[in-house]
Amino acid sequence: MRLARSVMVIFYLIITAAALPPKNNGTTSSTRRHVHDPRHQHRLGGEPDSARSQVVGNVTGHTQIFCHNETQPPIYFTSQPDNGGPGVYILNADPVPHGAVNGTMFLFYENDHDFVPYLWTVVYPPGGAVFVTPCPTFEGRIVRGDVSNFEGRIVRGDVSNFDGRKHLLGTWAELSWSTNGTAWGDVSLLEGNDGPVLVQALDAANKYKGFSIDVLSNAPAGAWAQKLGTGSWCLDKITSEGGNSVTRAWETQFLDPNSVYLEDNINPVINSINGRFAVTFYAGVV
Ligand SMILES: *[C@@H]1O[C@H](CO)[C@@H](O)[C@H](O)[C@H]1NC(C)=O
Ligand SMILES: *[C@@H]1O[C@H](CO)[C@@H](O)[C@H](O)[C@H]1NC(C)=O
Ligand SMILES: *[C@@H]1O[C@H](CO)[C@@H](O)[C@H](O)[C@H]1NC(C)=O
Ligand SMILES: *[C@@H]1O[C@H](CO)[C@@H](O)[C@H](O)[C@H]1NC(C)=O
Ligand SMILES: *[C@@H]1O[C@H](CO)[C@@H](O)[C@H](O)[C@H]1NC(C)=O
């Protein structure tokens, strides 16, 4: 029931959502912590240091409690029962299967853990959905991924994203959960654009951010960049340091910085007070 309702809401949004033009300060030494982590803007007032039983990262003074140890392989999941608690629906509105799977692979990366994903799944096309509840302190992103070969089980080399390298290029659906149950979400093109994504809060306020239009197809030659591993082409990163100015100029013609991260100083972030989100991925590139 919930799923059906969510899917209906999403498809309503597919029809109605308008896509428009954003911001953030690149003070990170690398891409370790994305400066537009929603919790930089909506910082929890000091979490107790006592509950730190897991891996802890501490960049820019904010202490991140990681869900996953990067020495461990990524965790595969299938859709979990939705009991009304916190979590996220991933909806695949991309009609085309990608790679060796029927659908699209999606990965969860934690901030500062760019080398090894935390979770991964495959969502069937089109209109397939999975629900998952990440660990309660998750701060990171959901991105499209690539399975080159798949014959029933993943083996070494089948997945570009499992090669131990950073695969940053592409659209980021950024989500994080606070200890009081509120979650934060946004869509960022700062590290690239491999297709539209919409993030929708599933609380009463029903806010959404992101975009649903294709800005790849007619983009100028200078706006493109190639993904590591697959070699696929998508739009380049537009970070304040080292970003592609052709890409930035192109995207800002069509997209609104109040809907999607296009720059460092406008933070198009929404919250969901019940910790529930839906993220819709439209046709994209893996
Ligand atoms: C952005 O970062 C630069 C250093 O990279 C710093 O000098 C500047 O004050 C920062 N701006 C804001 C608004 O934080
Ligand atoms: C949860 O924490 C966030 C961040 O501090 C705060 O903005 C929000 O109001 C809190 N929500 C509730 C229900 O207390
Ligand atoms: C991560 O896992 C490795 C291998 O099991 C272990 O040696 C290491 O201590 C773990 N790191 C943390 C921070 O738990
Ligand atoms: C994280 O950094 C802050 C500020 O630098 C510091 O006060 C805090 O003790 C650090 N936390 C941990 C767990 O290292
Ligand atoms: C892909 O998955 C969809 C949805 O489950 C199904 O209808 C379709 O037949 C599948 N296609 C292939 C080639 O397996």
Q: Which one, of 67, 142, 153, lies nearest residue 105 by Cα?
A: 142
What's the Cα-to-Cα distance from 32 to each of 54, 111, 114, rounded to whole Å?
Answer: 18, 6, 7
Radius of gyration of the chain (CA): 17
- Which mutation among 40, 53, 63, 65 tests ligand 4's pocket best, with the greatest number of atoms within 8 A of CB? 63
For 47-61, 155-169, 199-213, which range has the lowest pLDDT when averaged over its residues? 47-61
Q: What is the pLDDT of residue 206?
A: 87
pTM of the model: 0.79
Which atom of ligand 4 has the smallest separation from the CA of 63?
1
Q: Which residue has the higher pLDDT, 97 or 5?
A: 97
Is the shortest distance between the CB of 100 and ligand 2 below 6 Å? no
Q: Which one, of 85, 77, 87, 160, lies nearest residue 123 by Cα?
A: 77
Sign of the CA dihedral running 159, 165, 168, 174 = positive
How far apart CA 89 and CA 108 sit, in angstroms, is 13
Is the shortest distance between the CB of 46 and ligand 2 below 6 Å? no
**Structure tokens of 99?**
């790679």
Q: What is the pLDDT of residue 41?
A: 38
What's the Cα-to-Cα distance from 161 to each of 114, 167, 207, rounded to whole Å?
Answer: 10, 7, 31
Q: What is the pLDDT of residue 264?
A: 82
Question: What is the whole-number distance in angstroms between the Cα of residue 57 and the centre of ligand 2?
Answer: 22
Question: What is the whole-number distance in angstroms between the Cα of residue 120 and the centre of ligand 3?
Answer: 21
pLDDT, one tens digit per residue, over 243-263 is 999 999 999 999 999 999 999
Beta strands in the chain (DSSP E): 56-59, 62-65, 75-76, 87-92, 104-110, 119-123, 128-132, 139-145, 172-177, 183-188, 197-201, 208-210, 224-226, 233-235, 270-272, 276-281
Shortest-distance ligand to the CA of residue 67 = 3
pLDDT, one tens digit per residue, over 143-164 is 999 987 766 666 667 898 999 9
Shortest-distance ligand to the CA of residue 128 = 5
Domain 2-43+52-145+166-209+236-281 has CATH 1.10.10: no
Instruction: Report the chain's mean pLDDT, rounded to a whole number.
Output: 82
Residues with CB under 6 A from ligand 5: 102, 124
Residue 130: helix, strand or coil by DSSP?
strand
Q: What is the pLDDT of residue 179?
A: 85
Q: What is the pLDDT of residue 148?
A: 78
- Which mutation among 102, 104, 150 tests ligand 5's pocket best, with the greatest number of atoms within 8 A of CB? 102
pLDDT (average), residues 56-68? 78
**Structure tokens of 92?**
């695949």
pLDDT, one tens digit per residue, over 25-45 is 222 333 334 434 444 433 322
Residue 202: helix, strand or coil by DSSP?
coil
How far apart CA 162 and CA 146 sit, in angstroms, is 9
How far apart CA 72 and CA 66 sit, in angstroms, is 13
Is the shortest distance between the CB of 160 and ligand 2 below 6 Å? no
How far apart CA 14 and CA 280 sit, in angstroms, is 9
